[in-house]
Amino acid sequence: MTDRERIAEAIAIANIPTLLMGLVQMTGDRSWLEKPYRPKRGRGVGDNDSGGLSEEVQQEIRDAAVEAIVAWKQGKPLALPEPSDAELVEMLSAAMGERVPEEYGEFTAAQLGQRAMLWDQKIPVPEGFKVIVIGAGASGLCTAVNLKAAGVPFEVFERRATVGGVWQDNRYPGAGVDTPNHLYSFSFAPYDWSQYFVLRDELHDYFEDVADRFEVRQHIRFNTDVIAAVYNSDSQCWDVRIRNADGSEETRSANVLISAAGIFNPPAFPDIPGLDGFTGQRWHSAEWPADGNVEGKRVLMIGNGASAMQIGPEIQNQVESLTIFQRSPHWASPFEQFRKPVPEPLRYLLNEVPLYRNWYRMRLGWTYNDRVYDSLQKDPDWKHPERSLNAVNDAHRAYFVDYIKTELGDRTDLLDKVVPDYPPFGKRLLMDNGWYRMLRNPKVTLVDSSIERIDGDAVVTRDGERHAGDVLLIATGFNVLQFLSTYDLVGRSGRNLRDVWGADDATAYLGTVVPDFPNFFTLYGPNLQPGHGGSFIFVAEMQVRYTMQMIDAMARRDLGAVECRPDVHDRYIEKVDATHENMVWTHPGMSTYYRNSRGRVVVNSPYRNVDFFEMTKEVDLDDYIVEPRGRPEAA
């Protein structure tokens, strides 16, 4: 098959709105943004492959795309290689069939690769300067790749045997992403994905590939636990105590300490009397044993969140029976491409034509990230606050309820159990892995009576029912309110960060830096989870970019210490809390792991991704107390 034939084969099934953006840049012809070619807005979170256009118009676009891509591959330069910010907003609006706010220009340029997110210059750090990174999951790898690109000496300590973080831990049946992996990946490290929503093994392979492709593995010490880190004001360094694989301990020092430990550890266990006394097999979903087998077993599963929604449909036909204990129902969205392979011709197009790949990713970013943000704001005049926040949120509710009814079919008896009484997005919106169809399976029982105790081989509920089983699965997630819970961190004044934050009230300026903890940066910190949807990966890239700017500023200005000013931190947190007050997660009656014991939202960000991009695109040293290198008394 010739190159032209391969391109034509791919274009025949390619996404029309994405092709149109490529045509604009390849030809410079802006008429592709207008009628009759302008796509209509898609519904839900699907790719809207046809753009809502007629077959005749689609074919005209496909024919033009073949010619344009063939010409480009033969050496014809792009007519519009770097659209302006205004042009990018116009293009994204056309691609999505809806208005995109004007402030998305620079943000779009960054995601398309026009503004480099991977650090692209050497940082002139002084001799002996070093960075320590804790963790080699997604955030840690992103940090390592950037530090290597900048020529900054660094070392990564990872407690596991290899890279990948949570994707090394999660081995339960059906484990995978609920965000498209073309989006759940680094902007600087594309990959030849086999599916649109891959499972755990391929995700882990991706992170292994990144470690090797960017040659950072040799900087990582595996099977190494960080026990504690203490800031030394005299040396302006962090003294980090580690435990090696052989049990020996040693202390290493670094000028900058970056925590990439994440929030999905350790596993959270419910406080249920008798839990430890269950007489059958028992394990947490995050600790699924290599020989864990549920074939032909009576399985009891506590929890119905993200991991349960993946496990249940996956094992339903293997087990003798599956009894699910639900504390409260979740909203779940359909997604058309679940378990669907990326056709080989499209894999070729995504790999061979970066312009197509980047615009495809950009469209996913809008769909899964900021698109729904406005609908999560409370309307004070809305007449139905008991069920939704505003008219758009209410329309989301109607759409999800109709979907649930369709999936349940004749099992209308389950509606009262599975339709939430709170607004959509009030808790983490899940992607439906076939959960509702699973509930129609005669082997599956959904129990919404609360658990009273575990007695021998059975879960006893408050209605007096006794549910016996052979295997108890605990699918209750992680204690995400306890940030940085795996090691001690002692700041300038001698206080442990755990004492500063208390049990569940972590705060950080930009979710990244904390007063009294100089030269310390925490990735995936408090108030950074994109609760309105989407991938955290780009948030991590923005945090790492900000951290790299600070290291660059320290090197170029000969600074030994940078510490967030308390007043800057406090004003930021006040604004975070005030913004949350108008959002769905503080809706009356809501109970969610996003909030702490006092009702404060600790996990989720109240901002759009584009807002966080603006906040972090340039370090402002006025936000910091700075000390010259080697002269802390001169601060």
Give the other-Cβ count within 10 Å of 628's Cβ. 15
Coil, helix or strand for 390?
Answer: coil
Q: Please check whether residues 329 and 344 belong to one and the same domain.
A: no
What is the structure's pLDDT at 281? 96
Cis peptide before 266 (omega within 30 of 0): yes
Q: Please check whether residues 248 and 317 belong to one and the same domain.
A: no
What is the structure's pLDDT at 480? 67
Q: Please check whether residues 210 and 252 belong to one and the same domain.
A: yes
Instruction: Yes or no: say if 516 and 489 are a contact pair by the CB < 8 Å rule.
Output: no
What is the CATH number for 499? 3.50.50.60
Q: Please check whether residues 510 and 532 belong to one and the same domain.
A: yes
Judge whether 449 lies within some domain: yes
* Cα angle 109, 112, 116; round to 5: 70
Residue 341 corresponds to which tokens in the numbers above? Answer: 């392979």
Q: Are strands 471-474 and 298-302 parallel, antiparallel or unpaired?
A: parallel
Q: Please check whether residues 262 and 280 belong to one and the same domain.
A: no
Judge whether 627 lies within some domain: yes
Percent of the chain with pLDDT over 70: 98
Q: Please check whether residues 317 and 394 belong to one and the same domain.
A: yes
Judge whether 124 lies within some domain: no
Q: Please check whether residues 173 and 303 belong to one and the same domain.
A: no
> What would the pLDDT profile of 162-220 be if each residue is shown by its tens digit?
999 888 888 999 999 888 999 999 999 999 999 999 999 999 999 999 999 999 999 99
* End residue of a domain, out of 446, 474, 502: 474
| Residue 273 one-letter amino acid | P
* End residue of a domain, out of 413, 442, 474: 474
Q: Please check whether residues 507 and 420 belong to one and the same domain.
A: no
What is the structure's pLDDT at 481? 64
Coil, helix or strand for 635?
Answer: coil
CA neighbor of 194 nearest in space, from 185, 208, 186, 182? 182
Buried b (16+ CB within 10 A) or exposed e, 229-246: bbbebeebbbbbbbbeee
Distance, in Å, from the CA atom of 129 to the CA atom of 529, rounded to the nearest integer, reads 32
CA neighbor of 50 nearest in space, from 85, 26, 79, 15? 15
Residue 597 corresponds to which tokens in the numbers above? Answer: 């014991």
Q: Please check whether residues 497 and 628 belong to one and the same domain.
A: yes
Judge whether 393 lies within some domain: yes
Regions of the chain where pLDDT drops below 50 = 634-635
What is the structure's pLDDT at 155? 98
What is the structure's pLDDT at 634? 46
CA neighbor of 478 nearest in space, from 428, 417, 537, 521? 428
State which residues form the domain around 349: 3-117+340-371
Number of domains in the chain: 3
Distance, in Å, from the CA atom of 389 to the CA atom of 380, rounded to the nearest integer, reads 8
What is the structure's pLDDT at 237? 98
pTM: 0.95
Coil, helix or strand for 55?
Answer: helix
* Cα angle 256, 261, 265; round to 5: 160
Instruction: Yes or no: say if 22 and 94 are a contact pair by the CB < 8 Å rule.
Output: no
Rg of the chain over CA atoms, in angstroms? 25
Distance, in Å, from the CA atom of 124 to the CA atom of 371, rounded to the nearest integer, reads 40
- Where helices occur in 323-452 by DSSP H, the ranges are 344-352, 354-368, 391-408, 415-418, 435-438
**Residue 238 CA from chain centroid, whole number:** 29
Beta bridge partners of 573: none
Judge whether 376 lies within some domain: no
Instruction: Give 289-352 as a DSSP string.
Output: -TT---TT-EEEEE--SHHHHHHHHHHTTTSSEEEEE-SS---EE--TTTTPBPPHHHHHHHHH
What is the structure's pLDDT at 264? 66
Q: Please check whether residues 12 and 73 belong to one and the same domain.
A: yes
* Cα angle 3, 4, 7; round to 5: 85
Q: Please check whether residues 485 and 411 belong to one and the same domain.
A: no
Strand order in the sheet with 154-157: 220-221, 154-157, 131-134, 256-259, 520-522
Q: Please check whether residues 225 and 282 belong to one and the same domain.
A: no
Judge whether 378 lies within some domain: no
Judge whether 380 lies within some domain: no
* End residue of a domain, out of 474, 499, 531: 474
CA neighbor of 524 nearest in space, from 537, 505, 533? 537
CA neighbor of 174 nearest in space, from 24, 51, 285? 285
CA neighbor of 154 nearest in space, from 64, 248, 254? 254
Judge whether 513 lies within some domain: yes
Furthest C-alpha separation in the chain: 75
What is the structure's pLDDT at 114? 75
Instruction: Yes or no: say if 538 and 187 are a contact pair by the CB < 8 Å rule.
Output: yes
Instruction: Yes or no: say if 142 and 543 are a contact pair by the CB < 8 Å rule.
Output: no
